[in-house]
Amino acid sequence: MTADEAKAQLDERVREMMTWHFSEETGCPFWLDWKKSVGWDPREEVKSYDDIVKFPHFQDEWLRDEKNERFVPNAYKGRPFNVFETGGTTGLPKQRVGWEDYKHDYEQFSEQLSDEYFPKGGNWIMVGPTGPRRLRLAVEHLANFRGGSCYHVDLDPRWVKKLILRKELDQVERYQAHVMEQAVEIIKHRDISCIFTTPKLLASIGERISIAGHGIKGCFCGGTSMTPEYVRFLQEEVLEGKALFVPTYGNTLMGLAVSLPEELKENDYSVTYYAPQPRAVLRIVDPEKTEITKDYGEYGRVELTTLSHEFFMPRFLERDEAIRRKPHPKYAWDGVGDVRPFGALTSKVIEGVY
């Protein structure tokens, strides 16, 4: 696919989603009411992705303050939905409803995985936040889709964040050790080929056992930002250069942005992620004037637009910043590189707690 073809595909997707989400038969009460309140019709005004700036930034508080039923598209009315949560240390967390999106996202992701390192039929283990998170079902679906089963070890990041805020770092270590004990037991005694976990948990498992030495060939990792040095450490030392490290960037609201694991070394372990276009689009924007897209090679804030039939979310400003990178022959659209917490150089952010 060329960049022009990718753009045409995305523009077509935008038009399709405008029709879907702003028509009475298929749209959800939230967006239909919004359309009435602003007095313009996105079906008329938004004809391409460039027009998406006509929308204001999606506020994730809406996912806490609005009832979930208001996000159910009329086309899905009457179908029970999954509720997936994001964030939340105290109070009501933000929630997103869904049906099949996570399956689509992870089946699409599966196509990017190497069969050599993520063998079909191999079993998986997921070590990380499960509970009400989309990831819990998504990773198991990925394992099943590839013909394997999935073991789970849970970690509650909300509790970890509370411990960190209280400066109870010993408790953090003890809780992490508790999680690790469970993970290590499963890895040692069951046939596992693939793992999903977060970078810090991966390193923590690697402190206890040889991950590659216990038969794990591929590691799909996500959750926090990673410096190139940290990525190199994980690939060359934690995974001993034997298992493949596959960094991803994503969340409950987007799905999965993929990287180019086979090119990590030649890129000095600087990770560039490509959104699952046209289902979701990442744009690097000027934090002060968010309608402006930054130039290639420049840092800016990450803006996400999700364009699925189940969920429309225009211009959500992520709590991350990244470098705008050029399209790649494999992914003919912009990438986002060296993701780090927004304002990382000027403020203290609790990030990467697990």
Q: How far is the CB of 139 from another protein (least distance, A)?
A: 23
The residue behind tokens 């938004």 is: 46
Nearer to another protein, 1 or 344 (CB): 344
Check if the beta carbon of residue 93 is closer than 8 Å to that of residue 85: yes
Nearer to another protein, 130 or 176 (CB): 176
Q: How far is the CB of 237 from another protein (least distance, A)?
A: 6
How many CB atoms are located within 10 Å of the residue 320 CB?
22
Q: How far is the CB of 233 from another protein (least distance, A)?
A: 5
Nearer to another protein, 72 or 155 (CB): 155
Q: With the CA atoms of 178, 150, 204 and 186 taken in that order, what torsion angle do they form, in degrees rounded to the nearest 10? A: 60
Interface with another protein (CB under 8 A): 169-170, 173, 200, 203-204, 206-207, 227-230, 232-233, 237-238, 268-269
Q: How far is the CB of 73 from another protein (least distance, A)?
A: 43
How many CB atoms are located within 10 Å of the residue 177 CB?
11
Nearer to another protein, 25 or 345 (CB): 345
Q: How far is the CB of 231 from another protein (least distance, A)?
A: 8
Q: How far is the CB of 348 from another protein (least distance, A)?
A: 9
Q: How far is the CB of 51 from another protein (least distance, A)?
A: 40
Nearer to another protein, 114 or 227 (CB): 227
Nearer to another protein, 141 or 232 (CB): 232
Nearer to another protein, 44 or 170 (CB): 170
